[in-house]
């Protein structure tokens, strides 16, 4: 039995889709907070169980009978170490024999705001003695391609990332890597630094979007005070202004650049290119000009 936490999320859904191509659905457990969000898996024969990172007593029952677990990191920044510890302790209690955890690229040295929680979770996992593998996922191209309405309306991406390079990959590629480590042997004790085959700067991202949109979209590298001012005037809370600023500064330092090839090796093929992912996700936005116009008005300063 293979269990996947956060199964109703975008990454978890892709992992289950990949696993269903290799095993019968009754061998899969989709653990979600709201079982109604996983009806598409239940209809295919996957066991859907309720389990909430923030409600520890739900986790051991959700993991009953599972031998392998993919622990997809939670989304509650600032709360994740406690939540992940609860899942790991529940896995111990349930007799789980192998855990794969989705961390972040070079968590042990990264200055990304999210890195410290991932590093702490890795340490908790290693201390348990449960055989495990660390999947240090780099940035998703979808972090940009799913949030294009504002730069399209503004006519530019903005930030403080400078010329920092981002070795991002499509979410489907990271999901395929997770499927590989869940379905094949030889991964116990390993830490994989997962990133796309090719990196890009924010200026190169803007150029690719320009090519697909048929009009110029630039990248404006601002000073830190300027960037924070724009974010604050957009209505972001102070903690998120700081979060996005520090993330960009980490990119400028090279924290999301990588050329190790671990992702390519695990999925045994080229990773999706920036243009491939952008083209798939940009098309629906360009087909809804009213959405772009609405964002355009929201971005007027």
pLDDT per position as a tens digit, 170-206: 999 999 999 999 999 999 999 999 999 999 999 999 9
Tell me if 101 sits within 8 A of 136, measured CB to CB: no
- What domain count does the chain have? 2
In terms of residue numbers, what domain contains 159?
Answer: 139-169+197-257+272-301
Instruction: Let me know whether 233 and 119 are in one domain.
Output: no
Strand 98-104 and strand 191-194: the pairing is: unpaired
Which has more pLDDT, 284 or 248?
248
Q: Kindly tell me if the per-residue pLDDT of 292 is higher than 70.
A: no
The CATH number linked to 241 is 3.90.25.10
**Band of the pLDDT at 34, cuts 50, 70, 90?**
confident
Instruction: Let me know whether 118 and 37 are in one domain.
Output: yes
**Band of the pLDDT at 35, cuts 50, 70, 90?**
confident
Instruction: Let me know whether 13 and 41 are in one domain.
Output: yes
Whole-number Å distance between alpha carbons of 235 and 135: 34
**Residue 299: burial class (beta carbons within 10 Å; 0-12, 13-18, 19+):** middle
The reported pTM is: 0.92
Is there a domain that residue 225 lies in? yes
For residue 254, the number of C-alpha atoms closer than 13 Å in the C-beta half-sphere is 3
Is there a domain that residue 96 lies in? yes
Is there a domain that residue 183 lies in? no
Instruction: Let me know whether 161 and 285 are in one domain.
Output: yes
Instruction: Let me know whether 150 and 106 are in one domain.
Output: no
Provide CB contacts within 8 A for 138, sequence distance 6+: 104, 105, 166, 167, 168, 169, 193, 194, 195, 196, 256, 258, 263
Instruction: Let me know whether 80 and 144 are in one domain.
Output: no
The CATH number linked to 26 is 3.40.50.720
Choose the final residue of a domain: 122, 137, 152.
Answer: 137
Instruction: Let me know whether 104 and 215 are in one domain.
Output: no
**Band of the pLDDT at 288, cuts 50, 70, 90?**
low
Q: Report pLDDT for 291.
A: 44
Q: Report pLDDT for 284.
A: 63
**45 phi and psi angles, rounded to 5 deg:** 100, 5
Choose the final residue of a domain: 137, 160, 188.
Answer: 137
Q: Kindly tell me if the per-residue pLDDT of 65 is higher than 80.
A: yes
**Band of the pLDDT at 287, cuts 50, 70, 90?**
low
Q: Report pLDDT for 293.
A: 39
Instruction: Let me know whether 152 and 298 are in one domain.
Output: yes
Is there a domain that residue 186 lies in? no
């Amino acid at each position: 039995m293979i269990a996947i936490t956060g199964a109703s999320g975008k990454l978890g859904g892709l992992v289950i889709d990949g696993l269903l191509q290799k095993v019968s659905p009754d061998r899969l457990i989709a653990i979600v907070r709201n079982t109604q969000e996983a009806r598409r898996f239940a209809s295919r024969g996957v066991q859907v169980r309720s389990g909430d990172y923030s409600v520890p007593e739900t986790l051991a029952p959700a993991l009953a009978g599972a031998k392998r677990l993919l622990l997809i990191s939670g989304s509650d920044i600032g709360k994740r170490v406690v939540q992940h510890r609860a899942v790991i302790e529940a896995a111990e209690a349930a007799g789980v024999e192998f855990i794969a955890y989705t961390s972040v690229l070079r968590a042990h040295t990264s200055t990304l705001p999210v890195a410290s929680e991932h590093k702490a979770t890795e340490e908790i996992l290693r201390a348990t003695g449960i055989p495990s593998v660390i999947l240090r996922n780099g940035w998703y191209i979808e972090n940009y391609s799913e949030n294009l309405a504002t730069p399209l309306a503004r006519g530019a991406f903005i930030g403080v990332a400078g010329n920092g390079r981002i070795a991002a990959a499509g979410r489907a590629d990271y999901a395929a890597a997770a499927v590989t480590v869940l379905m094949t042997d030889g991964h116990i004790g390993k830490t994989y630094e997962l990133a796309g085959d090719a990196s890009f700067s924010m200026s190169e991202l803007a150029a690719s979007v320009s090519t697909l949109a048929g009009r110029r979209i630039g990248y404006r590298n601002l000073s830190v005070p300027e960037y924070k001012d724009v974010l604050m005037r957009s209505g972001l809370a102070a903690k998120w202004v700081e979060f996005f600023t520090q993330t960009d500064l980490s990119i400028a330092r090279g924290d999301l650049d990588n050329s190790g090839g671990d992702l390519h090796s695990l999925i045994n093929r080229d990773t999706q290119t920036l243009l491939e992912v952008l083209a798939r996700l940009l098309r629906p936005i360009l087909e809804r000009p009213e959405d772009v116009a609405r964002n355009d008005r929201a971005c007027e300063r």
